[in-house]
Amino acid sequence: MIPKFSIITVTYNAEASIEATVDSVVGQNYNDFEYIIVDGASTDRTMALLNPYKKQINALVSEKDDGLYHAMNKGIQMAKGEFLLFLNAGDRFLDNSVLKEVYTAISSKTRIISADFINVKQEGAMNGRHIYTKACTLQNLKKDFVACHQTVFIHRDVVSTYDLSYKILADYKWVVQASLRCMPDSIEHLKKPIVYYLDGGISAQHVRQNLIERIRLHQELFGRMQVLINTPNYLRRVLRELKRILL
C-alpha cells in the first residue's frame, strides 16, 4: 500500500539547519508518510548529523547533482506517496499535527492542497510574519505565485518534473503545470500556517533573474496579454524585494 504523503528534503551543506527540519518531519503524529532526503554530496557535517535518523528516513541519497531542481527531480523519481511535498533544509513544519490536519482536509477529489506559512529570518526562529496565501488555481497563478512552495501538496496524478531551464522559478512553473491538469474543485487551501519558511531562498537572492523568469513563465503558459496585465505586479515585486534587501 502506498503512503499518503511523500515528504522530500533536498539539502547541501546544511549542518546548521538540517536537524530542525528532520525533527519537524519525524515528529509528526500522523504516520502514513515516507521521508526522502536528497543530499548534494555535502562536504560539511550534514550526513553525520543524519546518521541518528536513518531508521526514520525511508530513502537517503548523497551524490553530486546539477543544482537544486535537479536534486528535487531525483526526489520525485524516488517518491511513492499519493501526495508530494518538498520541505527543504532550513524549513520546518509548524507543529507535530500538520500532516494530520492536511490529511483531514483532503477529499477524494483533491489534487492540490496548500496553506499559509510563517516567514522567519533566522534558522530555528519561532517568531515571524504570518503570510496569507491563496489557493493554487489558474486564476490566481496567472497573476503571481500565490503560494509557498513548501506548503503545496500535489497529487502524483498531476505531478511533473521541474523544468531545469528555469534556475529560479522552476517551482512556480511546477505548481502551474499541476494546476493546468486539475479541475477547479480539486484545488484546496488551508487558511492557516503549516510551515516555518526560512527567508532568503534562491528566488529571493536574484531579483533580476527572478523577474526575467517570471515574465518568461507568464508568456509561455498564459500568453503575451497576461504579461501586459501583470506589468504593474512586476514593478511592485521588484520594489518590494529591493526594499527588503536594503532594509
pLDDT tens track for 204-226? 558 888 899 999 999 999 999 99
The single-letter code of the amino acid at 12 is Y
206-215 long-range contacts (CB < 8 A, ≥24 apart) are 206/168, 207/238, 207/241, 207/242, 207/245, 209/167, 209/168, 210/168, 210/169, 210/237, 210/241, 211/237, 211/238, 213/166, 213/167, 213/168, 213/169, 214/169, 214/172
- Hey, what CATH topology would domain 5-199 get? Spore Coat Polysaccharide Biosynthesis Protein SpsA; Chain A (3.90.550)
60-99 per-position pLDDT tens digit: 999 999 999 999 999 999 999 999 999 999 999 999 999 9
39-65 per-position pLDDT tens digit: 999 999 999 999 999 999 999 999 999
178-191 per-position pLDDT tens digit: 999 999 999 999 99
For residue 242, what pLDDT band results from cuts at 50, 70 and 90?
A: confident
Radius of gyration of the chain (CA): 17
Distance of alpha carbon 52 from its chain centroid, rounded?
25
For residue 122, what pLDDT band results from cuts at 50, 70 and 90?
A: confident
Its pTM stands at 0.93
For residue 245, what pLDDT band results from cuts at 50, 70 and 90?
A: low
Structure-block grid coordinates of residue 164:
531545469
Smallest CA-to-CA distance from 175 within 205, 211, 145, 132 is with 145
Q: What does the pLDDT read at residue 25? A: 98
